[in-house]
Amino acid sequence: MRPPRGVIERYRDLLPVGEKTPIVSLGEGGTPLLLAPRLSERVGARVLLKVEGANPTGSFKDRGMTVAISRALEDGARAVVCASTGNTAASAAAYAARAGLACSVVVPEGGMALGKMAQALVHGAKVLQVRGSFDEALALVRELGERDPVTIVNSVNPDRIAGQMTAAFEVADALGDAPDLHCLPVGNAGNITAAWRGYRLYREAGRAGHLPRLFGFQANGAAPLVTGQPVAQPRTVAGAIRIGRPASWKGAIAAASESGGGIQAVDDGEIMAAYRFLAAEEGVFCEPASAVPVAGLLRLGAPPGSTVVCVLTGHGLKDPDTALSQIGSPVSVEADLDQVRAELGLSGDDD
């Protein structure tokens, strides 16, 4: 049987892999680029959603992880480690399981959404919760990488950034060129760095004609790139971007400024409004962090008639607690037709 066709197979010539690299893939990439008609109408532009929740573990992290784990295997690694707010842990755990590597993940205690925790555990990773922030977890992991025989698979590993360029390649392939605006959430800032690098590489390779403006959005309570200052205790409903000291700080600033875009913040109320809008009006369930670029776009607007891509970075099922606590709960009734009809507003039509 052929292995699943993942991003390495499709974009091999643009990625840091060689003939001898053993490819560890779960069939990542090839995610939908979905027109969002209601959002387009509200914004006055053609808005498309890059649905990264459709990746094997439910987030874009898989694009970078297939490259990072394949390269780690090639280099003879036995164990990989990462710090994570959740999705890197889930992805590392799955790809490490596939590769036969040991995986340890260090996460902020109480900060990891339920679905992500379930994934990391079920794939057999060792999950360590530290009493501290993501930023402290990452600092610890970096020290491990220096003193112990473990490979770090956070986005400080350039193989992760390389793999994540493939989202930009796919967007350009689907549209026939880069969009006018590319909007995404920014946490540790690896993904905006990768997107910018990806679009530039694609144009240099003659596979896209122009470059997009990149707009990165953070949450108000975790917006170091907007204020210019690290945040000691980042706070937001969007757990995947609850980060106060982004590792790829310079890459994010360069992406925004060189592309003529920007980095801005939205508040949690705007994030949850966008989250509901996407689910209820567009039929797309993403996790809170993924609604951030849509909240940002609704705030900023877009040039009339332009083409805008919003990257919905992770699946809504990652974080069922937020969905249930913020949106509402079901109504209970007896197993009785009259009660059911009354609750559904169907009573009164009887003879």
Ligand X SMILES: *Cc1c(COP(=O)(O)O)cnc(C)c1O
Q: Which is nearer to ligand X, 46 or 313 (CB)?
A: 313
- Tell how far CA 282 is from the center of its chain: 19
Q: Note whether 185 binds ligand X by CB under 6 A.
A: yes
Q: Which is nearer to ligand X, 259 or 290 (CB)?
A: 290
- Of positions 25, 119, 155, 259, contacts ligand X by CB under 6 A: 155
Give per-residue burial for 255-277: e unless 16+ CB within 10 Å, then b: bbeebebbbbbbbbebbbbbbeb
Q: Which is nearer to ligand X, 36 or 177 (CB)?
A: 36
Q: Where are the alpha helices (DSSP H) in the chain?
A: 7-11, 37-43, 61-74, 87-99, 114-122, 134-147, 158-164, 166-175, 190-204, 224-227, 249-259, 268-282, 288-300, 320-327, 337-343
- Of positions 15, 65, 162, 186, contacts ligand X by CB under 6 A: 186
CB of 11 to ligand X, least distance (A): 19
**CB of 49 within 8 A of CB of 36?**
yes
User: Total residues contacting ligand X (rule CB under 6 A)?
Assistant: 18
Q: Which is nearer to ligand X, 161 or 177 (CB)?
A: 161
Q: Which is nearer to ligand X, 46 or 199 (CB)?
A: 199
CB of 37 to ligand X, least distance (A): 24
Lay out the site mask for ligand X across 214-253 (x = CB under 6 A, - = otherwise).
--------------------------xx------------
Task: Report the alpha-carbon distance of residue 69 to residue 244 in Å, rounded.
Answer: 27
Lay out the site mask for ligand X across 298-337 (x = CB under 6 A, - = otherwise).
---------------xx-----------------------
- Of positions 68, 69, 97, 189, contacts ligand X by CB under 6 A: 189
Q: Which is nearer to ligand X, 77 or 225 (CB)?
A: 225
Task: Report the alpha-carbon distance of residue 171 to residue 167 in Å, rounded.
Answer: 6
- Of positions 287, 307, 309, 322, contacts ligand X by CB under 6 A: 287
Distances (CA, A) of 250 to 188, 297, 334: 11, 23, 59
CB of 85 to ligand X, least distance (A): 7
Q: Note whether 289 binds ligand X by CB under 6 A.
A: yes
Partners of 128 in the β-ladder: 106
CB of 187 to ligand X, least distance (A): 3
Q: Note whether 187 binds ligand X by CB under 6 A.
A: yes
Q: Which is nearer to ligand X, 59 or 119 (CB)?
A: 59
Location of structure tokens 């919003």: 310
Lay out the site mask for ligand X across 51-70 (x = CB under 6 A, - = otherwise).
--------x-x---------
CB of 128 to ligand X, least distance (A): 19
Report helix, strand and coil shares of the chain as percent, to nearest 5.
Answer: 45, 15, 35
Task: Report the alpha-carbon distance of residue 71 to residue 216 in Å, rounded.
Answer: 29
Considering only the stretches 12-20, 187-195, 260-268, 324-332, report the one whose residues sit in contact with ligand X under the rule CB under 6 A.
187-195
Partners of 236 in the β-ladder: none
Task: Report the alpha-carbon distance of residue 249 to residue 293 in Å, rounded.
Answer: 18
Considering only the stretches 126-134, 198-206, 255-263, 282-290, report the one whose residues sit in contact with ligand X under the rule CB under 6 A.
282-290
Considering only the stretches 129-137, 188-196, 205-213, 219-227, report the one whose residues sit in contact with ligand X under the rule CB under 6 A.
188-196
Nearest residue (beta carbon) to ligand X: 314
Half-sphere exposure of 306 (CA within 13 A, CB side): 17
Residue 86, amino acid: G
DSSP state of 24: -
Q: What is the H or E stretch that residue 36 is in?
A: none
Interface residues with ligand X (CB under 6 A)? Answer: 59, 61, 87, 155, 185-191, 240-241, 287, 289-290, 313-314
